[in-house]
Amino acid sequence: QPNINLVLVSIENAQTDHWKQALSQLHLTQPVSHIFVDEAHYALTSIDFREAFEDIHTLRHVPAQLVLLSATVPPVAEDTIIDMFGLSIPTHIIRTSTNRPEIRYIVDKPSSRSSIIERVQILVTTYGTQFKPEDRGLIYVPYKDQGMSLARILRCGFYHGGKDMDDEERLEEYQAWIRGTNPFMVCTSAFAAGNDYPHVRLVIHALSPWEMIDYVQSSARAGRDHRHAIAWMLPDINKPRPVSAPDHKGVQAMSDLTEISITPKPPCIRSFITYFCDGQEMRCDLEQASSPLAMQRTTTKRPASEISGSIDDAFQQSKSRTRRNNAAQEIYIT
């Protein structure tokens, strides 16, 4: 229609002959100026189970500028993304810091799965009682059967991308969570990028995520209202997953992040994440705000209720300092 200048389409539909023909016909009368691909990192992370990403370069079948948007394309993956989408060389790249100063990152020492379930219950009880009416929490799991079991224990919803859950059921779970039927929801990585409810105060990863990109995307659901939030990982005792080269998804980085939690002097978690995502470290000014150095003694030996009281004071000081550093270290690559 002549009065419409923006069209939204899924990758799957954009790969159909019907769409390509319609877009080509439109281009003859009303030239298409730009094609935007949001969450472009899915070309790396979802190609194993979404066939539409296999020939993603065919999106550009009309002479329009192609713009890729993502918060999680690590430097090591830039060349692959450029090649997959058939971008011209040189490609103009704008990269800014992915640091989220409002999020406090905590990684517990690895423990058994039964201990992790008990730990989740403690965290949900401790922080849930501090929630304001609009506040919510998310508990990410890597396995569907684990998610179903945990949702039963917590008496909350479970959102996943399996074939036994259709879009209508997923919408019902999401809306119940938004309404606050239960402020917590168990979910898989299917509920990550693009879900931007602003008042998520606590994100728990029950068992280690498989890949660093998944971890960054899911933990980033926290604090989107720019108020302080917590991303708490409860890794399990497990063998590292095999790593293929090149490791665009960050399988090795995720394994390394889990391992640093058991070292005598683990580094700042924020610096570890930003180094993977940006190629540059963004360290925390206050150890208490984001580093596990001091918290190793508390997170593994005391319930969360004993360490929650000092979060706000430490966080507020760290937040202002980290924001200044973040603004000063924005990176633009041309």
Exposure string over 220-235, b if 16+ CB within 10 A, otherwise e? bbbbbbebbbbbbbbb
Question: Which residues fall within 8 angstroms of residue 117, CB to CB, at 6 or more apart?
Answer: 150, 153, 206
Q: Look at the domain 103-308+323-328 and name its fold.
A: Rossmann fold (3.40.50)
CATH 3.40.50.300 boundaries in the chain = 103-308+323-328
Question: Which residues fall within 8 angstroms of residue 164, CB to CB, at 6 or more apart?
Answer: none
User: Following DSSP, what letter does each residue of 288-329 receive, concatenated?
Assistant: HHH-STTHHHHHTTS-GGGTSTTHHHHHHHHHHHHHHHHHHT
Per-residue pLDDT of the chain (334 residues; tens, 9 = 90+): 566 688 888 888 888 889 899 889 888 888 888 889 998 888 887 776 677 777 788 788 888 889 999 988 899 889 988 988 888 888 899 998 889 999 999 998 888 888 999 999 999 999 999 999 999 999 999 999 999 999 999 999 999 988 899 999 999 999 999 999 999 999 998 897 778 899 999 999 999 888 898 999 999 999 999 999 999 999 987 666 667 777 888 888 888 888 877 777 777 889 889 999 998 888 875 434 443 333 332 333 333 333 333 334 333 443 443 344 333 333 222 2
In the DSSP assignment, the letter for residue 87 is -
CA 188 to chain centre: 11
Q: In what order do the strands lie in the sheet with 229-234?
A: 103-107, 229-234, 200-206, 136-140, 184-187, 157-159
235-266 pLDDT, tens digit per residue, is 987 666 667 777 888 888 888 888 877 777 77
189-215 pLDDT, tens digit per residue, is 889 777 889 999 999 999 988 889 899
Cα–Cα distance for residue pair 30/32, rounded to 1 Å: 6
Nearest one of 269, 331, 278 to 299, comparing CA atoms: 269
Cα–Cα distance for residue pair 263/256, rounded to 1 Å: 11
Phi/psi at 105 (5° precision): -100, 135
> What pTM did the predictor assign?
0.77
Cβ atoms 218, 205 nearer than 8 A = yes
